[in-house]
Amino acid sequence: MSVVEQANYRVTEALNGIEVVDARYKNQSFSKHVHEGYTIGVIEEGTQKFFRSGENHFAHENSIILVNADDVHTGETASEGGWRYKAIYPTPEHFELISGDLLGSNALVPYFKDSVISDKKIAEQLRLIFEQIETGGSVLLIETLIYSTLLSLSNKHGRSVSIPKDTSINKSKLMLAKEFLDTYPQHDVSLDELAGIADCSKYHFVRQFGKAFGISPHAYQIQVRLLKAKQLLKAGVSIANTASDCGFHDQSHFSRHFKKALGVTPKHFQNQAILYKK
């Protein structure tokens, strides 16, 4: 593992802005301090030692560290090569946003008793969030992932909450959201916007959309973007402009999705389509 001390911070647009960090340290030692938000991190390499809730804790590779908002804590290495971690810093307001949407109250704002947990599924969910933020994933996908991950984390490891059963949503309202995605595939629509169109909570929108159409809102968004991309490529629009016009983060992002769905690169598809027209 590299011994370079570094911390790369990003702020995603999702849920009005959440800070994330990808950091690696060898000699860094953090004195007692607090954050206004929660620290939810995955140890990627090495072992971190930190003080929280009156005692020291050790977080080994693949474990998850949990620090509540305003918890006094420290941080230092507990392994020869240092440690690397990726973390997300949701605020209590982010939990209130989810809780208000789901339960109509702030009952979901959690207190995490355990400072270190082992939960493979949630670790994988967190890594997927980091990956999508780092590669410029859509706001819709990032919000959906953060929403479901924080909900699962709170339900399993924080204050116990009662998740309401799915409520039936008029399919015509779901169709309005689907038609919005059809009409504006290039728009980096948020989960909040789509749930607003369907007039339901974000939690129920994601679940009911999947039940109604057999595909998640984000996956459907990618499909309509690819349909538009095929039309533009057939018309001779450049690959770079097609990627931009269809709402993909960049040409590489577009090419990955295109090849995954169609089995060929956009360039190969365009060359064959134009040759066929001739």
Question: How far apart are alpha carbons 40 and 42 in whole angstroms?
Answer: 7
Query: Is 162's pLDDT higher than 70?
Result: no
In this prediction, residue 167 has a pLDDT band, given cuts at 50, 70 and 90, of low
71: pLDDT strictly greater than 70 = yes
Distances (CA, A) of 130 to 172, 202, 250: 34, 21, 18
pLDDT at position 1 is 47
**Average pLDDT over the chain, rounded to an integer:** 86
29-38, 113-122, 154-163, 222-231: segment of lowest average pLDDT? 154-163
> Which element (helix H / strand E) includes 181?
helix 171-183
Question: In the numeric block, which tokens belong to residue 179?
Answer: 């038609």
Q: Say which residue, 210 or 100, is predicted with more confidence.
A: 210
Give pLDDT, residue 58: 96
Mean pLDDT, range 187-192, rounded to an integer: 90
User: In the numeric block, which tokens belong to residue 186?
Assistant: 């290039």
